[in-house]
Amino acid sequence: MSGTVQSWAPGGTLHWQDRDEASGCARGMFTLSDFRFECGAVLPSVHIYFETWGTLAPDGCNAVVVCHALTGDAHVASGYGRDGWWSGLVGPGKAIDTRRWFVIASNVLGGCTGSSGPASLAPDGQPYALRFPPVTIRDMVRAQVALVQALGVRTVALVTGGSLGGMQVWEWPLLAPGLVQRAAVIAAHAAFPPLGIGYNEAMRLAIMADADWQGGNYYGTGRAPRAGLAAARAIGMLTYRTDLLFDERFGRRLVTAEVAQAAGAAGWEVQPDPAEWLSGREPLYEVEAYLRHHGEKLNARFDANSYLYLTRAMDVHDIGRGRGGLESALAKLACDVTVIGIDTDYLYAARDLRRTAALARECGVRCRYREIVSKYGHDAFLIEFDQLSRILADVWAAR
């Protein structure tokens, strides 16, 4: 596939961009006209960037949909000379074998990595900023379902993902009944818990407190809420890992030998200048440097307004909303469901996911619970590939 190939499909237009023959990864853009958001707002068009691996079978029944997390993207597996965030699971001979399965991943609506979001241009030629409609998980999934059907998929053999991606997985069989055979939800509640809402609010407050946020209208001004987004990322990072891992990786170690010497032979970590000591213009401890590094990395690739939109979409996630409550929604799941928890997950407690899986079984759903044992906390779904591979082998075996 070379150049841009455009084709019309029911519900939208597919624009195939190119294909990396070495990896089998192809890239494209799907455009939906007059997209109506759950809030009632309608945009004349929205764009969904996507990537695929493998080949769709003639009967259209070998598709696997992978949904990404908050600051993730569609680059799930290796392609175009770089690894994907799930290269340990997706690829030839791996748990999701691209020699057999046609893997589809898209960037979520409201994000900033190719799909339409607040940084996208409105019809007046200016970025939408906060004019972009509020986005929900259901909006994201409805756009994904339209994309998958436009690609010619008749059956989704598996839809899976973790965190924000797992929230999308919960919605897939409810918004596209009969299309999904298996759903593997990883580290995500059926309804986002209050602790998670609280942390999301703290992150949003950090961004909006930055004077450079400018009410969301910072595009083209030469200023952006970099400090606010970095602070938000630091808050998030503290919830993604565990105290055990932080103790092991950082302890109370100082950043450099020079800093340690400046702290004094007696070990006093007090500098003579209170402004330097309190403001932390330079990180004193290794853990501080780690958090700042991740803030800088996120600023290099992510839009602060998208962070606001996507965290709010997480907050309102509740599969029981408008469906008669949680039990009523669970009873509507007409596919095989695997709920995967992480024993050390701080935000998405394993006990809660275990309880939801049990409730689903009581509602007549073919549902099982599996658990990852890890020191990495919530981020284990991005790291513990061996355990996830074994769990996915059970998922594939389910009937």
Question: Which two three-digit tokens encode residue 131?
Answer: 């004019």
Phi, psi angle pair for 16, to nearest 5°: -80, 130
Tokens at 181, concatenated: 């055979």
- Phi then psi for residue 215, to 5 deg, are 65, 20
Note whether 217 and 208 are within 8 A (CB). Answer: no
Our answer to whether residue 378 is catalytic in this structure is: yes
Q: Which one is catalytic: 106, 115, 120, 163? A: 163
Dihedral sign, CA of 139, 144, 145, 151?
positive
DSSP 92: T
Query: What is the layout of strands, in order, in the sheet containing 12-20?
Result: 5-9, 12-20, 25-36, 42-53, 102-106, 63-67, 156-162, 182-186, 336-342, 367-372
CB 340 within 8 A of CB 186: yes
Contacts of 34 (CB under 8 A, 6+ apart): 42, 43, 44, 45
DSSP designation for 377: G
Of 299, 278, 302, 273, nearest to 288 (Cα)? Answer: 278
- With b for 16 or more beta-carbon neighbours within 10 A and e for fewer, the 239-269 pattern comes to bbbbeebbeeeeeeebbeeebeeeeeeeeee
167 vs 138: CA distance, rounded Å: 9
Q: Please count the residues of the chain.
A: 399
Are residues 245 and 376 in contact, defined by beta-carbon separation less than 8 angstroms? yes
- Could you say which of 318, 374, 378, 379 is catalytic? 378
20 is catalytic: no
Nearest to 190 by CA among 341, 364, 372: 341
Catalytic residue among 73, 345, 374, 379: 345
Q: Is 300 helix (H, G, I), strand (E, B) or coil?
A: coil
Judge whether 163 counts as a catalytic residue.
yes
Closest to 74 (Cα-Cα) out of 37, 27, 122, 128: 27
Residues annotated as catalytic (active site), given as ranges: 163, 345, 378
